[in-house]
Structure 1
């Protein structure tokens, strides 16, 4: 009997330690707005942009493709499809930048990427992965737009 009582106490303590906590700061309206699951997370598409196969040095062609790349990124942000974008520093893998797309469907993400002039012109290529991260990522965009002083 004593062993059974000790086992019950042990199980009770173990279960209470492992019990999930509820978040006192939980905002149901915000969670719904950003598409959060119960853990505050959601599915995205993570893209690593890398150097493409086009090695042209034609400055006009290169400039046009990358100007279009920047414009396309702004278009995707305005459409709520691009949450994070930025260059990757010099590296030995030919990685150029990342995108986190507000999309969970791989085929839809590939359609979005096909709209990019630098990808179309093969100056950029990409590796693409499903990714699970904070649903609140899109909320940083409003603040992000208030901290840059000089644009590209």
Structure 2
């Protein structure tokens, strides 16, 4: 009897723990490569102040122009889902990228397309990150709330 009670409790718990979400949309989940929890892996990148301390103001301006153009290109390709600067801080953190790729190697290839990284204005520190697959839809939503283009 104890065994039967234990099994009934176990199956009740398992059934409760794996409750199906009534709002689940299989088509959207598949299009975003979501797992059963609506999650997927990305590469999280922190841009830090790089070793180039000799670039002139004009060189930095040109590199930042290329940096922004590269961000827009990667976002349009769906490879970059989040990008933004940090405010002044004591850690030399300059900005963040979240790449829509699953390996550090893929993310390194993408970050190396950034002229400011190539010129060592920034250096990139990366790690694999597990987050909502819906994060990929931020850029589409952002375009609906941004009055001006960057």
Q: Same fold (TM over 0.5)?
A: yes
The structural deviation recorded for 1:7 is: 5.0
Q: 2:5 aligns with which of 5, 9, 14?
A: 9
The structural deviation recorded for 1:149 is: 2.1
Could you tell me whether the CA contact under 8 Å between 1:56 and 1:62 is conserved in 2?
A: no
Q: 5+ residue gaps in structure 1?
A: none
Q: 1:96 aligns with which of 94, 112, 130?
A: 94
Paired position in structure 1 for 2:111: 113
SS in 1 for 2:21: coil
Provide the TM-score with structure 2 as the length reference: 0.91
State how far apart, in whole Å, the 1-side matches of 2:115 and 2:19 are: 47
Let me know the Cα RMSD of the aligned residues: 1.5
Matched residues, number: 148
The structural deviation recorded for 1:56 is: 2.5
Q: 2:120 aligns with which of 106, 119, 122?
A: 122
State how far apart, in whole Å, the 2-side matches of 1:140 and 1:109 are: 19
Provide the TM-score with structure 1 as the length reference: 0.90
Deviations along 1:46-78, one digit per CA (max 9) or x if unpaired, are 000100001135111000011110000000011
Paired position in structure 2 for 1:44: 42
The structural deviation recorded for 1:15 is: 3.7
Deviations along 1:99-147, one digit per CA (max 9) or x if unpaired, are 1000012211101000001001100001010111111111122111111
Could you tell me whether the CA contact under 8 Å between 2:82 and 2:138 is conserved in 1?
A: no
